Amino acid sequence: MTEETPKLELRGVSRDFGETLALAPTDLTVRPGEFVSVVGPSGCGKSTMFNIVAGVLRPSLGSVLIDGRDVTGRAGYVGYMLQKDLLLPWRTVLDNIVLGALMKGGASRAQREEGVELATRYGLGDFINHYPSALSGGMRQRVALMRTLAMHRDVMLLDEPFGALDSQTRLAMQQWLLSVWKREKRTIVFVTHDIDEAIFLADRVVVMTPRPGRIHEIIDVPIERPRPVSSLTRPEFIGLKQRILETIYSNPSTGMKETDLHA
Ligand code: ADP
């Protein structure tokens, strides 16, 4: 029997910046349709890894594969979304959703129809002709995610997409994201330094530690889905959180203080 080809694979990927080893040689395999969170304190190499997978930064060594194909250093194979929504203020919500197509010369009628359908399906239907300035922070991030979906990449990298939102909006957005993920069946790699968020969303949590940045541990999250908010206080959840906190605090290289976790 042949094993399922991983959707995304990092093989011995590392990156240095002069004297600084930003990311030590790293292996990671992500299955099709999996939701993986990457958590760790500032400086542990999360952005470096993200940029390498997105193809906007070349690794010093190693390779990145998507569907078994080497895409190292090549952009355009994954969809990605950042904390800053990067919406164009002078474009409507719909134009912002189909921006990928607009930038390639224009959105076809089918692409605009798809944009409307996505917006309607995921709670933005009444806002397609609004400008981003009329939207709340949470809604802007929904638009940014719709734009990422409209890029039609199986792998989506989300870098702290809810980092600037207040905690209640954030929780609502996490639930919303899980409903989108369930329906769209994409593979998601979600970078955060919020441990609750990492566990709540993911099938597996990749715990990174700094100096040098590396994967310290990969932890399964055996909590059934769908996950109601009450999962956050279940004993299994608390146990996982404790384990991750201990990994980060007990690592002498982090020199972590409690406050650093939310820096
Ligand atoms: P994180 O995203 O987890 O905060 P980064 O990937 O940004 O971590 O950084 C990992 C390490 O690499 C840090 O020590 C950081 O200072 C260093 N680093 C990142 N980018 C650069 C760069 N362009 N030049 C020099 N050092 C860098």
Whole-angstrom Cα distance, residue 204 to residue 75?
A: 25
Write out pLDDT tens, residues 1-31.
Answer: 457 899 999 999 999 999 999 999 999 999 9
Whole-angstrom Cα distance, residue 260 to residue 235?
A: 25
Whole-angstrom Cα distance, residue 94 to residue 99?
A: 8
pLDDT for the residue 259: 52
CA-nearest residue, atom 11 of ligand 1: 22
Residue of 14, 16, 20 best suited for mutating to test ligand 1, as the one with most atoms within 8 Å of CB: 20
Chain position carrying tokens 């899980």: 178
Tell how far the Cα of 212 is from the centroid of ligand 1, in angstroms. Answer: 10
Query: Residue 159's closest CA among 127, 121, 190?
Result: 190
Question: What class has domain 8-78+156-262?
Answer: alpha beta
Strand order in the sheet with 69-70: 20-30, 8-17, 61-66, 69-70
pLDDT for the residue 200: 98
How large is the average pLDDT for residues 173-196? Answer: 94
Tell whether the model's pLDDT for residue 263 goes beyond 50.
no
Average pLDDT over the chain reads 92
CA distances to 45, 77, 80, 219 from 251, rounded to whole Å, are 15, 34, 30, 16
Tell how far the Cα of 126 is from the centroid of ligand 1, in angstroms. Answer: 41
- The pLDDT-based confidence of 89 (bands split at 50, 70, 90) is very high
Lowest mean pLDDT among 74-83, 112-121, 251-260: 251-260
87 exposure class (CB count in 10 Å sphere: 0-12, 13-18, 19+): buried
How large is the average pLDDT for residues 129-148? Answer: 93
Tell whether the model's pLDDT for residue 40 goes beyond 60.
yes
pLDDT for the residue 2: 56
Tell how far the Cα of 205 is from the centroid of ligand 1, in angstroms. Answer: 21
Residues lining ligand 1, CB < 6 A?
17, 20, 22, 40, 42-48, 213
Q: How many CA atoms lie within 13 A of 126 on its CB side?
A: 4
Contact at 8 Å (CB) between 155 and 187? yes
What number of other Cβ atoms are within 10 A of residue 136's Cβ?
Answer: 10
Residue of 14, 17, 21, 208 best suited for mutating to test ligand 1, as the one with most atoms within 8 Å of CB: 17
Domain range annotation of the chain = 8-78+156-262, 87-152
Strand order in the sheet with 35-39: 79-81, 155-159, 187-192, 35-39, 204-209, 214-220
